[in-house]
Amino acid sequence: NAGVTQTPKFQVLKTGQSMTLQCAQDMNHNSMYWYRQDPGMGLRLIYYSASEGTTDKGEVPNGYNVSRLNKREFSLRLESAAPSQTSVYFCASRSRDRWSGANVLTFGAGSRLTVL
Amino acid sequence: AQTVTQSQPEMSVQEAETVTLSCTYDTSESDYYLFWYKQPPSRQMILVIRQEAYKQQNATENRFSVNFQKAAKSFSLKISDSQLGDAAMYFCACRNNAGNMLTFGGGTRLMVKP
């Protein structure tokens, strides 16, 4: 099925460990995003990529790095995990509605990360 | 910069009744889009409805409609004939036309009572 696929769905890390969240979309979208979701704070943008080979910081980029490996894939890396990074992470890609011209985001299912 | 505020952390509605979720926003953009997303327990974010700010007519999608008050920067979601499957977190969001950023509110948890 077409959409946004994130892995892993769940991960527990110890403080200081590193890990990479993977995201892939098969809809040929140019723009991809990483958000984190925390209670009462909605979703906050970590990084985004407007096209293959480009990445930009969002609202809360500290402690994260990203790689836009190709048009399909956009990974999020935590080099040295901290308890403050315990969150649910969402990857999304952006498309333009052919009728209205509006841009909409399609989200992955989310990845729950716990840092002890 | 944009901000989105949802002042109702939780709402409750009886099945088949109507409920309205509030959202206010602030943006310096002259052209922008507004969205409501639904997040069920599966955590998947599902687009419910969107509104182009330049359109005066309120968007509707089946049982979902919005009350867009541009001058007041208000964008409420009305759910008619509420169903048990409507129970979820609902997020209001604002995106400017030219930029890449979509700003979300803090969410409202909707409970539907049978």
Q: What pLDDT shows up at residue B52?
A: 87
Is the model's pLDDT at A96 over the cut of 80?
no
Is the model's pLDDT at A45 over the cut of 80?
yes
Is the model's pLDDT at A51 over the cut of 90?
no
Q: What pLDDT shows up at residue A97?
A: 58
Q: Which amino acid is at A70?
A: N
- % pLDDT > 90, chain B: 64
First-residue to last-residue Cα distance in chain B: 41
Q: What pLDDT shows up at residue B98?
A: 60
Contacts of A103 in chain B (CB under 8 A): 33, 95
Identify the weakest region by mean pLDDT among B40-44, B53-57, B106-110: B40-44
Q: What is the mean pLDDT of residues B8-29?
A: 95
Helices (H), ranges, chain B: none
Distance (Å) from the alpha carbon of B75 to chain A's nearest alpha carbon: 16
Q: What pLDDT shows up at residue A99?
A: 53
Q: Are A54 and A70 in contact (CB under 8 A)?
A: no
Question: Rounded to an integer, what distance in angstroms lies between the CA atom of residue B91 and that of residue B109?
Answer: 9
Is the model's pLDDT at A77 over the cut of 80?
yes
Interface test with B, best of A31, A36, A43, A91 (most B CBs within 10 A): A43
Is the model's pLDDT at B100 over the cut of 80?
no
Residue of A83, A25, A59 lying closest to B101 (CA atoms): A59
Q: What is the mean pLDDT of residues A20-36?
A: 92
The conformation of residue A112, written as its DSSP 8-state character, comes to: E
Give B83's pLDDT tier (boundaries 50, 70, 90). Answer: very high
For residue B106, give the nearest of A42, A100, A103 by CB distance: A42
Determine if residue B50 is left, alpha or beta; phi over 0 gives left, psi from -120 to 50 gives alpha, anything else beta: beta
Give A103's pLDDT tier (boundaries 50, 70, 90). Answer: low
Distance (Å) from the alpha carbon of B107 to chain A's nearest alpha carbon: 6
Q: What pLDDT shows up at residue B29?
A: 84
Interface test with A, best of B102, B103, B108 (most A CBs within 10 A): B102
Give B41's pLDDT tier (boundaries 50, 70, 90). Answer: confident
Bond prior to A61 in cis (omega within 30° of 0): no
Contact A48 B35 (CB under 8 A): no
Please provide the average confidence, as pLDDT, over all residues in chain B: 90
